[in-house]
Chain A
Amino acid sequence: MAPSEHELRLRERLSRLRNVPLLGGARLSGELERLQRQLDRIQQEPTSDEIWRSVELARHPERPYTLDYVGALLDDWFELHGDRGDGDDGAMVAGLGKLGDRTIALVGQQKGRDIQERTRRQFGMPYPEGYKKAMRVFELADRHGFPIVSLVDTPGAYPGVAAEQHGQGGAIASSQLAMARLAVPTVACVIGEGGSGGAIAIALADRVLMQENAIYSVISPEGCAAILWRDAGEAKKAAAAFKPDAAHCLELGVVDGIVPEPAGGAHTDHQEAARMLGESLREAIDELADVPGDELRRRRRAKFRSLGVFA
């Protein structure tokens, strides 16, 4: 069987990686192996049914959320509250803890399990206060040299009157800017829905990972369908067109790696999903740990500045 275009592009990424000169402390072998494994797994382009399955699994109500992973992976977790200005946004959690023997700062959106919690946490859609909380924790981590892990799981930033009045657009821009400036290793992983600006606000990281059944997109399938098909019911078609699944995001160079999930999806086995995520996070942080801060910042900006396709 002739290799698909997708496979060819991944092979090209592999060959490019092999030619990258080794910088002090950088360990590319792990990266190579992982890409190779992923290349082996993704033999063909996902079908529209598979893409839609990702959308459904990414939104599965039993899927592990940020605090589930915190509980399974971090010791000595201490949650930090508030943006030191206006409030404490329940949709964004932040705190410090030990991942193995390393202290890290963690931020992430948090949906809720029951209706009370969902209301309190706005279904994981942060206000500007949530992004301001993330920013002050980024600065805290930078001050103390703690690597930062951000777990992305949001339908998007909250679309309300107060959110606009408090500067939603500016907060999302500033949060990205804060990440672009950091001199500590940063690893982001999309663990469910990576919804648009609300997601990228905490995902301008040295390594961006994505769980196998997560989605990462510029707009929700329903929103895209409502605008381009003028019918929100065409969400499945829209998803197939803009391809929010992990394999496509890897192919486009938007994410650096895919984190495997237990067969059937992360919701089937929280412990195993956490183990797999923990392994990927530790591996990514290890790769970055010895890179000087200036170099991290330079490479991070160069990476994001290279994204796009034009002629």
Chain B
Amino acid sequence: MSKIDVSIETDDKPAPPPKHPNTCPQCHSHYRDDELERAQWVCAQCGHHFPMRAHARIASLVDEGSFHEESADLHSEDPLGFFDLRPYTERLAEAEMSTGLADAIVIGQGEIEGRGCELAVMDFAFMGGSMGSVVGEKFSRACDSAAERGVPLITVTSSGGARMQEGILSLMQLPKTVCAVEDLHDAGQAMIVVMAHPTTAGVLASFASLGDVLLAEPGALIAFTGPRVVEQTTREKLPDDFGLAEQNLRFGHLDAILERPQIRPTLGRLLRVFG
């Protein structure tokens, strides 16, 4: 029997990066930083959605000056003394240096169109947005903060899955976040999920799928197992839009796909509806 790898941590990295991060991987249009920023990192030519950093995302969603970050200084530890080609602690330090974040999620209070909410926004730039103990804990704290303040939780996901370097403890962040969502729901509050590219494996198989409303950005990969692993292990022929937001919408796994500029007004409307 050939060994079949089924992993929470998919190794489906997004398409190889273009020569310059401001070059559109689809139509090769090139932009200056300020052009992209003004366009919310959407290609003006073809509509491709560039990855968006957590703080930029938050700024694009909340009323100006309304965001107050929480638990910003929570750091990962290295419970297993994990060492592959490089030690986990070194990878963490490098990610912290290059992103300016302590881990792959930013949480805090904010307002959207004048209505209070809690936000939990993932950042793919920090170790592929992988979920270890800190992501699990911060997401859970965001649930508690929303419940305490009596406001809905808005979460933006972008993650390759669980963080292998924390071994079984990273798998345990699945039930942990599931329990936190259920506590939030017991407190009568809603959770709205916006899935950005990619939302896969352990994050999709836990809190990301449990929102009262599930939204996604166009072209986002949303899959438990990514296309490369499926193709390698099953030798199946993959449909063209395999695992993309569009396929997920067709099969009934999403409520809507929204272009980036539509997300803030839609969240505003949903906050009023759940109000």
Contacts and interface: CB of A to CB of B under 8 A. Distances in A.
A222 B229 CA distance: 13
Contacts of B207: 173
B178 interface: yes
Given A220-B7, A226-B11, A310-B74, 10 more contacts: A155-B6, A159-B229, A165-B247, A177-B210, A218-B7, A222-B3, A223-B11, A241-B84, A248-B167, A254-B172
Q: 10 tightest CB-CB pairs across the interface, nearest first?
A: A156-B6, A308-B133, A169-B204, A223-B5, A159-B225, A169-B224, A228-B84, A219-B7, A173-B209, A242-B167
21 contacts: A118-B1, A160-B230, A160-B234, A163-B225, A164-B242, A167-B251, A167-B253, A169-B222, A170-B209, A172-B205, A176-B175, A180-B179, A196-B162, A200-B174, A217-B168, A226-B5, A243-B80, A304-B175, A307-B133, A307-B136, A309-B79
A176 B207 CA distance: 10
Given A222-B5, A305-B140, A309-B133, A229 B205 contact: no
B202 A197 contact: yes
Task: Choose among B79, B171, B236, B238 the residue with the greatest number of A CB atoms under 10 Å from its CB.
Answer: B171
Interface stretch (B15-23, B45-53, B180-188): B180-188
Contact of A224 (B164, B174, B200): B164
B168 A173 contact: no
B239 interface: yes
A197 B8 contact: yes
A216 interface: yes
A187 interface: no
Interface in B208-243: 208-210, 222-225, 229-230, 233-234, 236, 238-239, 242-243
A174 B84 CA distance: 33
B246 interface: no
Contacts of B251: 165-167
Interface of B: 1, 3-9, 11, 74-77, 79-80, 82-85, 132-134, 136-137, 140, 162, 164-176, 178-183, 200-202, 204-210, 222-225, 229-230, 233-234, 236, 238-239, 242-243, 247, 251-253
A161 interface: yes
Contacts of B247: 165
Given A160-B230, A173-B204, A223 B6 contact: yes
A244 interface: yes
A249 interface: yes
B176 A159 contact: no
Interface of A: 118, 123, 125, 155-161, 163-170, 172-174, 176-177, 180-181, 195-201, 203-204, 216-220, 222-224, 226-229, 232, 237-238, 241-244, 248-249, 252, 254, 300-301, 304-305, 307-311
Contact of B162 (A155, A218, A309): A218
Given A167-B251, A305-B176, A227 B223 contact: no
